[in-house]
Amino acid sequence: MTESRLDVSGGGPAAKRPRLASPGPTARLDDPLAALHERAQLGCLCPLPAAQLTALTAQLSAADSRRQVLALSTLQLLQEAALQQLRLGSMCRQLQRAVCAQRQADGPLLEALLALLASGTALLSCGAGRCLTLAALLLPPGRAQRLLEALVAAVLESERQLEVCHALNALQRLIEQHDPPESAAGGARPLPAGCAAISVGPDPETLSEIKCAITALLENRWVPVTQRFCRLLTRPAHETEVLAFLRLWTTIISVKNNLSIVETKSFYGRLEGLMSSLGGDASPHVWRAVLDLYAEVLCYGSTIALQDCVAEEPAGLAHALLRQTRAGRLLEAVPYERGVRAFAGSSSGGAGGSGGDRPLMQKTVLLVLKALAVTVKETRCESSSEASARSAGGSGSEEQDMVIIERTLREVVRRLDGWVKARLPFHPETPMSEWAVVLLCDQDDYLVEAMVCLLDLCAGLAERARVQPDFERAIDAHRSFVQFLGTVRRDHDLLLDFLISNETCFLLYLLRYLKFVRKHWARFLRACGAKLQEVMGVLIGLRISLQQLVARDLFPYNVTPILKLLERCEQLYEHNPAAG
């Protein structure tokens, strides 16, 4: 030992640590699974003998969990590569044989994956759920039915939390699947040189058949499924399962997933029962998921606002929400104070506000605004239908109905206004039409949809002469627009960005609002007051920018209706004595 120390201190260079040789492709060929995993990353199995392709299913049942993880990873890579190449129309011949072999021997493979789904290891259960999702997309619809039945049975019957959670996630991923656009082919990984590829073609009906099969299986068991998870809403130990179930429910109802009303009608039936099971004991995470579900049903900006009449299911949910809000049960149960708080001691409640779950409050406020707008729209549709069905000298029942509805809406707005101001430092005289914009200004999609709701509320009650002044101020769309311009610092370029972006429904809002301004110009002048010149300056600047873009053919769609309305408002402004 002494000699060694003397050698080191004798001025000679220290001996270098020998470099460990990295295992290259040739060093791993003795392990069939490792070699298969390496080729799966390239999407080509041409150099591998056929015997190596049969080792995958056996490794899924291996005693070593590390081998099982490697087998799941390899299988997922193969499935993803096969699915991508199938959509592109060209697939590695050896990979196609492997996929066909899995189709023919899907029994042992599915049994192994379902066993891993039910395992107590989170990584194995999650990986098995992802492989089952891809397997359903690659199997023929007839054979995929057995897999889907097993997933639904796990949701309803299993007592293992991991199995239930990842089965729900697998079903959700299948519902969310969309056929990729043709432009997506440009980002696909090309097959390596020397790969023997063959032409293949996907079945365009496979995805829709899978979605229909899932909804049919769940529809037959929906009552016991919802009863099971409603009992778990307030149990913290089952929160992960409950959140996965609520995400699946939201996905089924979402208009983005191209499921027809007929296919999803049964899934609206238990919404009010979910509300009665939800109380103050439920966690903020569960509350947010439930509010997301309700918001998807009342998808006002993207769907309901564009429809002539409101469907029965959204209208029923809106009525139930308003009843709960008017009675105080909904707002007082929202766990705002128990929600997520900001880090580093900063407040999440707004400017100078007390700490609390601001996103939860935003979701709650937007949901109540949607319920108000849906109710007014439904009432107007019914009134129009009744008016067209009888002569002009009909009874005064419409007026009586509107008086009752207006009283309900006014009480709901009063409750919501008091609930927000008790938690955030808004001035007591600030109307809802203004503080709603301030509250939602950091979420563009929430903000624009809320302004659409306020606009339709205001437009729906604008012709009534008996609207109380405080209620009129609370739903005044002009006040909301002036406040909105303040939040964007009266920069017309930001309005231009809103118009170009497809992330919000701002085009719908601006088109309807400008029509409303043209029709109710005097009310617009009163609402703007001393800020009229600033407001019109923004609108004129927006009109000039739009005309310049249109002249150079740079605007992405036909914006002529907006331009005409902006020009009309500018003409009214120029001929208005108060404008000077």
The tokens describing 469, both together, are 């002044």
What would the DSSP string read from start to end of 526-562?
HHHGGGHHHHHHHHHHHHHHHHHHHHTT-SSS--HHH
**What tens digit of pLDDT does each residue of 147-197 get?**
999 999 999 999 999 999 999 999 999 999 987 655 445 556 788 888 988
359-368, 404-413, 427-436, 448-457: segment of lowest average pLDDT: 404-413
**92 strand-pairing partners:** 197
Q: How confident is the model at residue 55 (pLDDT cuts 50, 70, 90)?
A: confident
pLDDT surpassing 50 at residue 580: no
| Cα–Cα distance for residue pair 1/16, rounded to 1 Å | 19
Closest CA to 73 of 38, 98, 48: 38
Is 474 in contact with 434 (CB distance < 8 Å)? no
Lowest mean pLDDT among 44-53, 164-173, 183-192, 540-549: 183-192
User: In this structure, are residues 245 and 292 in contact, taking their beta carbons and an 8 Å threshold?
Assistant: no
Nearest to 478 by CA among 443, 436, 438, 434: 434
Closest CA to 278 of 339, 239, 234, 223: 234
pTM of the model: 0.88
Mean pLDDT of 50-75: 86
3 state SS for 421-490? HCCCCCCCCCCHHHHHHHHHCCCHHHHHHHHHHHHHHHHHHCCCCCCCHHHHHHCCHHHHHHHHHHHCCC
Report whether pLDDT(350) > 80: no
- How far is 290 from 191, CA to CA, in rounded Å? 45
Q: Fill in the amino acid letter for 574.
A: E
Least confident of 205-214, 287-296, 314-323, 363-372: 205-214
Average pLDDT, the chain: 86
Closest CA to 417 of 331, 524, 356: 331
Most confident of 1-15, 22-36, 52-66, 210-224: 210-224
pLDDT category at 251 given cuts 50, 70, 90 is very high
Per-residue pLDDT, 563: 97
Q: How many CB atoms lie within 10 A of CB 579?
A: 12
Q: Which residues pair with 197 in a beta bridge?
A: 92
**Closest Cα to residue 197, out of 67, 326, 46, 304?**
46
Cβ atoms of 356 and 286 closer than 8 Å: no
More confident residue, 182 or 342: 182
In this predicted model, what pLDDT tens digit does every residue of 382-417 receive, in sequence order? 766 555 544 444 455 666 777 788 899 999 999 999
Looking at 252-372, which runs of residues are DSSP E strands? none
Q: Please count the helices (runs of H) and the strands (runs of E) in the chain.
A: 29, 2
How large is the average pLDDT for residues 471-479? Answer: 95
Is the CB of residue 271 less than 8 Å from the CB of residue 319?
Answer: no
Q: How far apart are CA 282 and CA 556, in angstroms?
A: 45
Q: What share of the chain is helix, strand, coil (3-state, %, to 5)?
A: 70, 0, 30
